[in-house]
Amino acid sequence: MKQQLEDSDKWSLANIRILAMSFKSGDTVERHSHSTGQLIYAVSGIMELRTNDKIWRIPPQRGLWMPKEIEHEMTALSDVELRTVYLRDDETTPEISAEQQVISVNPLLRELILRGLDIADSQDAIAFKSQILSLVRMELQELVLDGILKSRWELPLPADLDKRLSKLCEAIIEDPGSKMTLDEWAKSVGASTRTLSRLFQSEFGTSFNSWRQQVRISSAMLQIDQGKQITTIAGDLGYETLTAFSQMFKKATGKTPSSYAAQKDSRR
Protein backbone atom coordinates (compact mmCIF):
# COMPACT_ATOMS: atom_id res chain seq x y z
CA MET A 1 0.00 0.00 0.00
CA LYS A 2 2.69 2.51 0.90
CA GLN A 3 4.63 1.77 -2.27
CA GLN A 4 1.52 2.36 -4.39
CA LEU A 5 0.72 5.63 -2.63
CA GLU A 6 4.18 6.98 -3.31
CA ASP A 7 4.15 5.95 -6.97
CA SER A 8 4.25 9.26 -8.87
CA ASP A 9 1.83 8.24 -11.61
CA LYS A 10 -0.86 7.66 -8.98
CA TRP A 11 -0.83 11.37 -8.13
CA SER A 12 -1.50 12.95 -11.49
CA LEU A 13 -4.84 14.49 -10.46
CA ALA A 14 -4.71 17.41 -8.01
CA ASN A 15 -2.25 15.52 -5.78
CA ILE A 16 -5.19 13.64 -4.28
CA ARG A 17 -6.05 9.97 -4.10
CA ILE A 18 -9.25 8.44 -2.67
CA LEU A 19 -9.46 4.82 -1.56
CA ALA A 20 -12.46 2.73 -0.46
CA MET A 21 -12.05 -0.02 2.14
CA SER A 22 -14.47 -2.22 4.10
CA PHE A 23 -13.99 -3.57 7.63
CA LYS A 24 -15.99 -5.96 9.78
CA SER A 25 -16.73 -5.13 13.40
CA GLY A 26 -13.61 -5.85 15.45
CA ASP A 27 -11.20 -5.54 12.52
CA THR A 28 -8.07 -3.55 13.27
CA VAL A 29 -5.43 -1.70 11.29
CA GLU A 30 -2.07 -1.86 13.03
CA ARG A 31 -0.15 1.27 13.95
CA HIS A 32 1.34 2.95 10.89
CA SER A 33 1.95 6.34 9.30
CA HIS A 34 1.85 7.87 5.83
CA SER A 35 4.04 10.28 3.93
CA THR A 36 0.88 12.24 3.09
CA GLY A 37 -1.88 13.86 5.10
CA GLN A 38 -5.22 12.09 5.01
CA LEU A 39 -8.89 12.44 5.83
CA ILE A 40 -10.14 9.26 7.52
CA TYR A 41 -13.88 9.09 6.96
CA ALA A 42 -16.45 6.30 7.26
CA VAL A 43 -19.62 6.68 5.21
CA SER A 44 -21.15 4.12 7.56
CA GLY A 45 -20.12 2.56 10.87
CA ILE A 46 -18.20 3.69 13.95
CA MET A 47 -14.41 3.61 14.14
CA GLU A 48 -11.91 4.18 16.92
CA LEU A 49 -8.64 5.90 16.03
CA ARG A 50 -5.61 6.20 18.29
CA THR A 51 -2.27 7.94 18.25
CA ASN A 52 0.34 7.78 21.01
CA ASP A 53 -1.53 10.23 23.21
CA LYS A 54 -5.10 10.63 21.88
CA ILE A 55 -8.17 8.59 21.07
CA TRP A 56 -11.22 9.38 18.94
CA ARG A 57 -14.46 7.51 18.34
CA ILE A 58 -15.84 8.75 15.06
CA PRO A 59 -19.39 8.35 13.65
CA PRO A 60 -20.28 8.69 9.96
CA GLN A 61 -21.06 12.42 10.13
CA ARG A 62 -17.46 13.10 11.14
CA GLY A 63 -14.01 12.59 9.74
CA LEU A 64 -10.54 12.79 11.26
CA TRP A 65 -7.79 14.80 9.59
CA MET A 66 -4.51 12.96 10.18
CA PRO A 67 -1.33 14.87 9.21
CA LYS A 68 1.54 13.09 7.52
CA GLU A 69 4.06 11.05 9.55
CA ILE A 70 1.71 10.69 12.56
CA GLU A 71 1.53 7.08 13.74
CA HIS A 72 -2.05 5.90 14.22
CA GLU A 73 -4.15 2.74 14.42
CA MET A 74 -7.80 1.98 13.77
CA THR A 75 -10.39 -0.40 15.23
CA ALA A 76 -13.81 -0.92 13.64
CA LEU A 77 -16.40 -0.72 16.44
CA SER A 78 -19.04 -1.86 13.94
CA ASP A 79 -19.01 -2.78 10.26
CA VAL A 80 -17.27 0.18 8.59
CA GLU A 81 -17.26 1.46 5.03
CA LEU A 82 -14.13 3.61 4.96
CA ARG A 83 -13.25 6.31 2.46
CA THR A 84 -9.76 7.72 2.87
CA VAL A 85 -8.62 10.86 1.08
CA TYR A 86 -4.83 11.12 0.77
CA LEU A 87 -3.47 14.60 0.01
CA ARG A 88 0.10 15.02 -1.13
CA ASP A 89 1.57 18.47 -0.51
CA ASP A 90 4.06 20.30 -2.72
CA GLU A 91 5.07 23.89 -3.47
CA THR A 92 1.62 24.83 -4.78
CA THR A 93 -0.51 22.73 -2.41
CA PRO A 94 0.95 22.81 1.13
CA GLU A 95 -0.29 20.47 3.81
CA ILE A 96 -3.71 21.53 5.05
CA SER A 97 -2.82 21.27 8.74
CA ALA A 98 -0.11 19.80 10.95
CA GLU A 99 -2.66 19.14 13.71
CA GLN A 100 -5.03 16.20 14.07
CA GLN A 101 -8.64 17.23 14.28
CA VAL A 102 -12.19 16.07 13.82
CA ILE A 103 -14.27 17.78 11.16
CA SER A 104 -17.96 17.67 10.32
CA VAL A 105 -18.25 16.04 6.90
CA ASN A 106 -20.99 18.07 5.25
CA PRO A 107 -23.16 16.72 2.41
CA LEU A 108 -21.09 18.55 -0.23
CA LEU A 109 -17.78 16.99 0.84
CA ARG A 110 -19.39 13.58 1.20
CA GLU A 111 -20.80 13.65 -2.34
CA LEU A 112 -17.55 14.99 -3.79
CA ILE A 113 -15.62 12.13 -2.18
CA LEU A 114 -18.07 9.53 -3.50
CA ARG A 115 -18.12 11.13 -6.94
CA GLY A 116 -14.35 11.20 -7.05
CA LEU A 117 -14.33 7.45 -6.48
CA ASP A 118 -16.95 6.79 -9.16
CA ILE A 119 -15.17 8.56 -12.02
CA ALA A 120 -12.95 6.18 -13.98
CA ASP A 121 -9.28 7.02 -14.56
CA SER A 122 -9.70 7.38 -18.30
CA GLN A 123 -8.39 10.00 -20.72
CA ASP A 124 -11.96 11.11 -21.48
CA ALA A 125 -12.72 11.79 -17.80
CA ILE A 126 -9.38 13.11 -16.61
CA ALA A 127 -10.28 16.82 -16.75
CA PHE A 128 -13.61 16.30 -14.96
CA LYS A 129 -12.06 14.10 -12.28
CA SER A 130 -9.29 16.64 -11.71
CA GLN A 131 -11.92 19.33 -11.08
CA ILE A 132 -13.82 17.12 -8.63
CA LEU A 133 -10.67 16.26 -6.69
CA SER A 134 -9.63 19.91 -6.58
CA LEU A 135 -13.00 20.72 -5.04
CA VAL A 136 -12.45 17.95 -2.47
CA ARG A 137 -9.19 19.62 -1.41
CA MET A 138 -10.75 23.09 -1.27
CA GLU A 139 -13.78 22.00 0.77
CA LEU A 140 -11.66 19.89 3.12
CA GLN A 141 -9.28 22.78 3.67
CA GLU A 142 -12.16 25.07 4.65
CA LEU A 143 -13.53 22.52 7.12
CA VAL A 144 -10.14 21.84 8.69
CA LEU A 145 -9.38 25.54 9.05
CA ASP A 146 -12.73 25.93 10.82
CA GLY A 147 -11.55 23.41 13.40
CA ILE A 148 -14.37 24.00 15.91
CA LEU A 149 -14.87 20.32 16.79
CA LYS A 150 -11.29 19.46 17.67
CA SER A 151 -11.27 19.88 21.44
CA ARG A 152 -14.70 18.32 21.92
CA TRP A 153 -13.94 15.01 20.27
CA GLU A 154 -10.38 14.07 21.10
CA LEU A 155 -9.70 12.28 24.36
CA PRO A 156 -6.19 12.68 25.73
CA LEU A 157 -4.38 9.51 26.75
CA PRO A 158 -1.35 9.34 29.05
CA ALA A 159 1.77 9.88 26.96
CA ASP A 160 4.18 8.19 29.36
CA LEU A 161 1.97 5.08 29.56
CA ASP A 162 1.87 4.91 33.35
CA LYS A 163 0.14 1.54 33.75
CA ARG A 164 -2.09 2.65 36.62
CA LEU A 165 -3.30 5.76 34.86
CA SER A 166 -3.70 3.91 31.56
CA LYS A 167 -5.82 1.23 33.21
CA LEU A 168 -8.09 3.85 34.76
CA CYS A 169 -8.44 5.86 31.54
CA GLU A 170 -9.21 2.83 29.40
CA ALA A 171 -11.86 1.67 31.87
CA ILE A 172 -13.61 5.05 31.87
CA ILE A 173 -13.51 5.30 28.07
CA GLU A 174 -15.19 1.88 27.92
CA ASP A 175 -17.74 2.84 30.61
CA PRO A 176 -18.13 6.64 30.77
CA GLY A 177 -21.13 6.29 33.07
CA SER A 178 -19.13 4.66 35.87
CA LYS A 179 -19.76 6.40 39.18
CA MET A 180 -16.58 5.15 40.85
CA THR A 181 -14.78 7.87 42.76
CA LEU A 182 -11.08 8.62 42.47
CA ASP A 183 -10.56 6.92 45.84
CA GLU A 184 -12.24 3.79 44.53
CA TRP A 185 -10.22 3.88 41.32
CA ALA A 186 -7.03 4.30 43.34
CA LYS A 187 -7.73 1.06 45.18
CA SER A 188 -8.66 -0.68 41.93
CA VAL A 189 -5.45 0.21 40.05
CA GLY A 190 -3.06 -0.01 43.01
CA ALA A 191 -2.19 3.64 43.53
CA SER A 192 -2.90 6.31 46.09
CA THR A 193 -5.53 8.96 45.44
CA ARG A 194 -2.84 11.62 45.69
CA THR A 195 -0.70 9.88 43.08
CA LEU A 196 -3.59 9.63 40.62
CA SER A 197 -4.51 13.28 41.17
CA ARG A 198 -0.92 14.27 40.46
CA LEU A 199 -0.81 12.09 37.33
CA PHE A 200 -3.99 13.67 35.94
CA GLN A 201 -2.53 17.13 36.44
CA SER A 202 0.88 16.27 34.99
CA GLU A 203 -0.45 14.31 32.01
CA PHE A 204 -3.60 16.24 31.12
CA GLY A 205 -3.36 19.52 33.02
CA THR A 206 -6.74 18.89 34.58
CA SER A 207 -8.48 17.01 37.38
CA PHE A 208 -9.91 13.50 37.29
CA ASN A 209 -13.48 14.84 37.33
CA SER A 210 -12.81 17.25 34.46
CA TRP A 211 -11.18 14.54 32.34
CA ARG A 212 -14.06 12.14 33.00
CA GLN A 213 -16.54 14.84 32.02
CA GLN A 214 -14.70 15.28 28.72
CA VAL A 215 -15.05 11.54 28.10
CA ARG A 216 -18.77 11.78 28.84
CA ILE A 217 -19.22 14.74 26.48
CA SER A 218 -17.46 12.87 23.68
CA SER A 219 -19.54 9.76 24.35
CA ALA A 220 -22.74 11.83 24.42
CA MET A 221 -21.95 13.45 21.07
CA LEU A 222 -21.17 10.07 19.53
CA GLN A 223 -24.43 8.56 20.80
CA ILE A 224 -26.49 11.56 19.65
CA ASP A 225 -24.93 11.21 16.20
CA GLN A 226 -25.96 7.55 16.28
CA GLY A 227 -29.57 8.63 16.85
CA LYS A 228 -30.00 7.42 20.43
CA GLN A 229 -32.62 9.00 22.67
CA ILE A 230 -31.25 11.77 24.87
CA THR A 231 -32.94 10.39 27.99
CA THR A 232 -31.25 7.03 27.40
CA ILE A 233 -27.87 8.69 26.90
CA ALA A 234 -28.23 10.66 30.14
CA GLY A 235 -28.92 7.47 32.09
CA ASP A 236 -26.10 5.55 30.41
CA LEU A 237 -23.66 8.30 31.36
CA GLY A 238 -24.61 8.19 35.03
CA TYR A 239 -26.81 11.28 35.32
CA GLU A 240 -29.72 11.07 37.75
CA THR A 241 -31.85 13.54 35.77
CA LEU A 242 -32.12 14.77 32.20
CA THR A 243 -31.79 18.33 33.51
CA ALA A 244 -28.38 17.64 35.07
CA PHE A 245 -27.15 16.03 31.87
CA SER A 246 -28.46 18.88 29.70
CA GLN A 247 -26.83 21.50 31.90
CA MET A 248 -23.47 19.72 31.71
CA PHE A 249 -23.71 19.31 27.94
CA LYS A 250 -24.66 22.93 27.32
CA LYS A 251 -21.92 24.26 29.58
CA ALA A 252 -19.33 22.23 27.68
CA THR A 253 -20.58 22.67 24.10
CA GLY A 254 -22.71 25.80 24.15
CA LYS A 255 -25.74 23.79 22.98
CA THR A 256 -28.39 21.70 24.65
CA PRO A 257 -28.42 18.02 23.64
CA SER A 258 -31.66 18.56 21.71
CA SER A 259 -30.31 21.53 19.75
CA TYR A 260 -27.11 19.59 18.98
CA ALA A 261 -29.25 16.67 17.74
CA ALA A 262 -31.30 19.03 15.55
CA GLN A 263 -28.11 20.46 14.06
CA LYS A 264 -26.85 16.94 13.39
CA ASP A 265 -30.09 16.05 11.56
CA SER A 266 -29.80 19.17 9.38
CA ARG A 267 -26.39 17.97 8.11
CA ARG A 268 -27.79 14.75 6.64
pLDDT number for residue 8: 40
Residue 164, classed as helix, strand or coil, is helix
Query: Considering only 78-82, 154-158, 211-215, which range has the smallest mean pLDDT?
Result: 154-158
pLDDT digits (tens, 9 = 90+) for 85-95: 998 887 566 77
pLDDT of 10 higher than 60: no
As to burial, measured by CB atoms within 10 angstroms (0-12 exposed, 13-18 middle, 19+ buried), residue 123 is exposed
pLDDT number for residue 92: 62
pLDDT digits (tens, 9 = 90+) for 136-152: 988 988 888 776 555 56
| pLDDT, the chain, mean | 85
pLDDT of 203 higher than 80: yes
Residue 75, classed as helix, strand or coil, is strand
pLDDT of 6 higher than 70: no
Q: By the 8 A CB rule, do 72 and 57 touch?
A: no
Tell me the mean pLDDT in the region 42-65.
89
pLDDT digits (tens, 9 = 90+) for 210-267: 999 989 988 998 888 888 999 999 999 999 899 999 999 888 888 899 988 887 655 4
- Long-range CB contacts for residues 158-167, cutoff 8 Å, separation at least 24: 158/53, 158/199, 158/203, 158/204, 159/52, 159/53, 159/203, 160/203, 162/199, 162/203, 164/189, 164/190, 164/191, 164/195, 164/196, 164/199, 165/189, 165/196, 165/199, 165/200, 165/203
pLDDT of 9 higher than 50: no
Query: Considering only 32-36, 48-52, 88-92, which range has the smallest mean pLDDT?
Result: 88-92
pLDDT number for residue 147: 63
